[in-house]
């Protein structure tokens, strides 16, 4: 394993490079030393090949390097809701996800926890773990850290949030989001290529269409097409102006049908493929996993 726990002594896991000694206090991500988890469930709301019949085994980690003002997971992503667990508990949780029939292990917002995740995967694999590992990320990642994930991650599920650095700062409080995300996505692609369902390996890119083209989805789709038209795109329409976005002049509303259809037209024009968001949704998309019990 290329990333030891020593990195947490002066943390540089994410592009913020806050260099906090996480043995003593929390980082900008709101995470301290031990891995911190909000919930672990079978989640049917991910892309169909990742969910399968039973759902993806979604591990919702607490904390996040980004501070999106509209985040629907505000409680555990920014306010620290969750509970710290040991390395052994995390490894056992991965095994419990597999035993519950999950199609994949879906690591949601894993960046602040990378050293623990890699060690837990090593332990779990020694005990029979063999699910495809999904790294579910905002793409606000350091290339140097992503390189250390090679061989551990099978599928990168990567967002493109903005293609304008100014919007990244305004709405997620991070500098140079687009500059960083492009390089991160290129590294993910270099590691695993475009997603291949038969191999259960590769890169999938998500774009959440936001009002007034704040997401920069047209530029994002052009970037993907230039990288590799075989990369599947999940074009999402479920934006809701939560929390600080409610009264914003640009993103203080849901998107219109025309805004989404225009984004879909751009995807088709560029000869890209993937998943569109239908209006119909399952009422129940998550199911609990009894992951805290003994092996």
Per-residue model confidence as pLDDT tens digits over 29-57: 999 999 999 999 999 989 999 999 999 99
For the segment 200-246, what is each residue's pLDDT rounded down to a tens digit? 999 999 999 999 999 999 999 999 999 999 999 999 999 999 999 99
Strands 36-43 and 83-84: antiparallel
Whether 3 contacts 118, CB under 8 Å: yes
* Of the candidate ranges 64-73, 105-114, 154-163, the one whose mean pLDDT is the lowest: 64-73
Q: Is the pLDDT confidence value at 165 over 80?
A: yes
Mean pLDDT of 139-162: 98
What is the rounded CA–CA span in Å between residue 239 and residue 136?
18
Task: Indicate the pLDDT class of residue 81, thresholds 50, 70 and 90.
Answer: confident
Which residues touch 218 (CB under 8 Å, ≥6 apart)? 263, 266
Tokens for 240, please give them.
Answer: 């809701």
Pairing of strands 56-61, 105-108: parallel
Percent of the chain with pLDDT over 90: 88
Whether residue 294 has pLDDT greater than 80: no
Instruction: Express as a percent the part of the chain with pLDDT over 70.
Output: 96
Average pLDDT score over residue span 109-136: 98
Per-residue pLDDT band for 291 (boundaries 50, 70, 90) equals confident
Closest C-alpha among 206, 198, 130 to residue 161: 206
pLDDT at 266 over 50: yes
* Banded model confidence at residue 289, pLDDT cuts 50, 70, 90: confident
Q: What is the pLDDT of residue 278?
A: 59
Mean pLDDT taken over the chain: 94
Residue 80 in contact with residue 63, Cβ under 8 Å? yes
Confidence of residue 126 (pLDDT cuts 50, 70, 90): very high
Helix axes 257-269, 217-227, angle to 10 degrees: 20
Q: Please provide the DSSP assignment of the chain as one string.
A: ----GGGGGG--SSTT-----TTTS--TTS--SS-EEEEEEEETTS-HHHHTTT-EEEEEES--S---TT-TTHHHHTS--SEE--HHHHHHHHHHHHHTT-SSEEEES-GGGHHHHHHHHHHHHHTT--PPEEEEE-S---HHHHHTTTTT-SEEEEE---S-HHHHHHHH--TTHHHHHHHHHHHHHHHH-B-BTTTTBEEEEEEE--GGGTT-HHHHHHHHHHH-TTS-EEEE------GGGTT-TTTSSPPPHHHHHHHHHHHHHTT--EEEPPS---S--EEE---SS--
Q: What is the reported pLDDT for 78?
A: 84
- Please say if the pLDDT value at position 282 is more than 50: no
């Amino acid at each position: 394993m290329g990333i030891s726990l020593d990195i947490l002594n002066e943390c540089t896991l994410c592009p913020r490079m806050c260099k906090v000694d996480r043995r003593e206090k929390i980082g900008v991500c709101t995470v301290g030393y031990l891995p911190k988890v909000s919930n672990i469930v079978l989640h049917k709301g991910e892309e169909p090949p990742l969910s399968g019949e039973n759902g993806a085994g979604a591990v919702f980690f607490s904390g996040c390097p980004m501070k999106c003002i509209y985040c629907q997971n505000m409680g555990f992503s920014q306010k620290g809701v969750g509970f710290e667990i040991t390395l052994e508990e995390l490894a056992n949780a991965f095994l419990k996800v597999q035993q519950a029939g999950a199609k994949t292990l879906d690591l949601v917002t894993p960046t602040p926890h990378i050293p623990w995740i890699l060690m837990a995967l090593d332990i779990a694999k020694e005990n029979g773990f063999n699910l495809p590992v999904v790294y579910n990320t905002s793409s606000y990642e350091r290339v140097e850290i992503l390189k250390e994930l090679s061989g551990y991650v099978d599928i990168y599920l990567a967002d493109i949030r903005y293609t304008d650095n100014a919007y990244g700062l305004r709405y997620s409080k991070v500098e140079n989001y687009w500059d960083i995300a492009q390089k991160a996505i290129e590294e993910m692609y270099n590691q695993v290529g475009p997603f291949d369902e038969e191999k259960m390996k590769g890169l999938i890119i998500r774009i959440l269409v936001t009002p007034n083209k704040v997401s920069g989805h047209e530029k994002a789709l052009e970037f993907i097409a230039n990288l590799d038209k075989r990369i599947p795109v999940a074009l999402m329409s479920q934006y809701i102006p939560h929390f600080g976005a409610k009264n914003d002049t640009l993103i203080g509303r849901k998107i219109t049908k025309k805004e989404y259809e225009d984004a879909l037209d751009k995807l088709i024009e560029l000869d890209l493929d993937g998943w569109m968001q239908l209006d119909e949704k399952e009422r129940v998309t998550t199911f609990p996993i009894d992951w805290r019990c003994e092996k």
